[in-house]
């Protein structure tokens, strides 16, 4: 994993809202974006922005199910990040 990838991930998680979103998805396994609106107390465009940053960092995987987006943790990317410091 390159230093640029690490920096991108750490920047994504440095935001409190994104950290809460990531933690919720990590704890639940897979979460529909509509369920996250109730948790983070923001509007839909702001939530979409936060989710895009997390997906672009590689930490989350987005899967479309008809008109809903479901998000889950990219365990491969998370393990690479954790192994970086071992």
The CATH number for 33's domain is 1.10.10.10
Residue 40 has pLDDT above 90, yes or no: no
Give the per-residue pLDDT at 65. Answer: 86
Q: Could you list the residue range(s) of the whole structural domain that residue 34 is in?
A: 3-84
Of all helices (H) and strands (E), which one includes residue 8?
Answer: helix 3-14
Residue 60 has pLDDT above 90, yes or no: yes
| pTM recorded for the entire structure | 0.91
Q: Say how far apart CA 36 and CA 21 lie, in whole Å.
A: 7
Please report which confidence band the pLDDT of residue 24 belongs to, taking 50, 70 and 90 as the band edges.
very high
Average pLDDT, the chain: 93
Number of domains in the chain: 1
């Amino acid at each position: 994993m390159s230093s640029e990838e690490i920096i991108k991930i750490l920047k994504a998680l440095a935001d409190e809202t994104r950290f809460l979103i990531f933690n919720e998805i990590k704890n639940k396994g897979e979460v529909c974006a509509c369920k996250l609106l109730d948790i983070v107390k923001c509007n839909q465009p702001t939530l979409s922005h936060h989710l895009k940053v997390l997906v672009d960092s590689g930490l989350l995987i987005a899967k479309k199910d008809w008109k809903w987006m479901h998000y889950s943790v990219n365990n491969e990317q998370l393990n690479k990040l954790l192994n970086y410091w071992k």
